[in-house]
Amino acid sequence: VEPTQEWADEVRRLAKARNATLLAHNYQLPAIQDVADHVGDSLALSRIAAEVDSDEIIFCGVHFMAETAKILSPEKRVLIPDERAGCSLADSITADELRAWKAEFPDALVVSYVNTTAEVKGLTDICCTSSNAVDVVASIDPDRDVLFLPDQFLGAHVKRETGRDNIHIWAGECHVHAGINGDELTAQANAHPDADLFIHPECGCATSALYLAGEGFVPEEKVKILSTGGMLDAARETGAAQVLVATEVGMLHQLRKAAPGVDFQAVNDRASCPYMKMITPAAMLRCLREGRDEVFVDADVAEKARKSVERMIAIGN
C-alpha cells in the first residue's frame, strides 16, 4: 500500500466513522505523521490521549506508548496498528530484574523512563521522559538513593546535570540511539564546523558531544542535549543555517516543517527504529477496518503504573 492522497482520504474517513483520534510519534514515517490528528513526543501524546473525547485512540508508535495511553485513559479503546512494535530499550529490564534490584536497595526511590512496560512502571515511584528526567531526579530528597532505569546514557546525562553521586544506573540502551556513536559525530562536526548539534540524551555520542564542547573543538553554545520535543523548540529559535541531528531519523520531518529555512542533517542516517517503522500505511488500514490490535493492561498493574506516571506529570515538564 502506497501512502497516496487516496490512502490518506480513506484513513481520515475510517477514523471519523470510528470516532477515533489518530496520534503519531515524532519517529513515525512522514506519511503517518501527516495523516495523524496530533504528532508529538511520548509525554505530549499521553497527555493528549487522556484529554481527547473520542471513543477510541489509535496510537501510531510503539507498544509501551500505547500502553501508557491506556493506563491514563482506561475507559477508552486504545488500538495500535501492529502490536509487535516493541522497543529494545523497554525490553532491557524485566519486572523480575527490577524486583531483585530493589531488594538490593530497599530504601531507594525508583525513577523509570517511560520506555518501560506497564509492569515495570507498576514497580516504579516516579516515571520520567527525556524532557523532564533531570527535573524529576532533582525533585527527590538529596539524601535518598535513586535507582534510575533503564537507559544508561540518559542516566549519565541526569547524573551529570544533577551532580548526584547516589544515583544507580541500569545498563540498558536503545540500540538505535546507542548506535549513533562519537566517531560519527566528531567526523560530522569537523565537516560542518558552523552547524549546531542537537543530541538526544539516549545517544551513545552524548558524552562525545560534551567532550567536543569542553575541549573547545565546537563552541559550547552550539551543543544542545535535547529531547525530541526540546529539539522542535530549539529548531524554531536557532540562528544556525545547518543543524546536525543525533536521534531517530523520523524526527527530521517535524524539524524541517518547524524551521523550513534550516538545513537539518542526520548524524547517522541509518538510525531508523525498526519497531516504529512497523506502523505502515497497510497496517493503518487494517487497524481502522478490523479494529486491531487492541491494547489491554491488567487493572491492578494499570492502577499502580498510573500513580508513577501521574507523579511525573505533577512535577511538570
The footprint of ligand 13P (CB under 6 A) covers 41-42, 115, 129-130, 174, 202, 227-228
In a 10 Å sphere around its CB, with 0-12 CB exposed, 13-18 middle and 19+ buried, how is residue 4 labelled?
exposed
**Could you tell me the three cell numbers for 108?**
531507594
Q: Which residues pair with 25 in a beta bridge?
A: 40
Among candidates 217, 220, 277, 269, which has minimal Cα distance to 244?
Answer: 269
Torsion angle of alpha carbons 253, 255, 260, 262, nearest 10°?
-120
Is residue 208 involved in binding ligand SF4 (CB under 6 A)?
A: no
Q: How far is the CB of 55 from ligand 13P (least distance, A)?
A: 25
- Report in angstroms how near the CB of residue 276 gets to ligand 13P at its nearest: 7
Q: How far is the CB of 241 from ligand 13P (least distance, A)?
A: 25
Do the Cβ atoms of 196 and 242 come closer than 8 Å?
yes
Cα separation, 317 vs 313, in Å, equals: 7
Task: Beginning with the edge strand found earlier in the chain, give each strand of the sheet holding 263-266 in spatial order.
Answer: 223-225, 196-199, 242-246, 263-266
Residue 129 or 152: which CB sits closer to ligand 13P? Answer: 129
Q: d(Cα 178, Cα 183) in Å, to the nearest integer?
A: 12
130 binds, among ligand SF4, ligand 13P, none (CB under 5 to 8 A by kind): ligand 13P
Three cell numbers, residue 305 = 503504573
The residue within the footprint of ligand SF4, chosen from 67, 196, 248, 293 (CB under 6 A), is 248
Query: Which x/- pattern, by CB under 6 A, does the window 63-92 give for ligand SF4?
Result: ------------------------xxx---
CB of 180 to ligand 13P, least distance (A): 12
At closest approach, how far in Å is the CB of 72 from ligand SF4?
Answer: 19
Smallest Cα–Cα separation from 88: which of 123, 56, 54, 64? 64
Which does residue 41 touch among ligand SF4, ligand 13P, none (CB within 5 to 8 A, set by kind)?
Answer: ligand 13P
Residue whose CB is less far from ligand SF4, 172 or 218 = 172
Residue 285 beta carbon to ligand SF4: minimum distance, rounded to whole angstroms: 23
Nearest Cα to Cα of residue 198 among 251, 150, 159, 157: 251
Residue 240: what residue type? Answer: A
Binder of residue 88, out of ligand 13P, ligand SF4, none (CB less than 5 to 8 A by kind): ligand SF4
Closer Cβ to ligand SF4, 108 or 249, answer by number: 249
Distance of alpha carbon 199 from alpha carbon 22, whole angstroms: 28
- Which positions from 10 through 69 interact with ligand SF4, judged by CB under 6 A? 27, 62
Q: CB of 252: closest distance to ligand 13P in angstroms? A: 14
Pick from ligand 13P, ligand SF4, none: which does 36 bind, CB < 5 to 8 A by kind? Answer: none
Cβ(124)–Cβ(308) below 8 Å: yes
By CB under 6 A, the residues from 148 to 207 that bind ligand SF4 are: 174, 176-177
Q: Which is nearer to ligand 13P, 21 or 42 (CB)?
A: 42
Footprint on this chain of ligand SF4 (rule: CB under 6 A) = 27, 62, 87-89, 115, 174, 176-177, 248, 273, 275-276
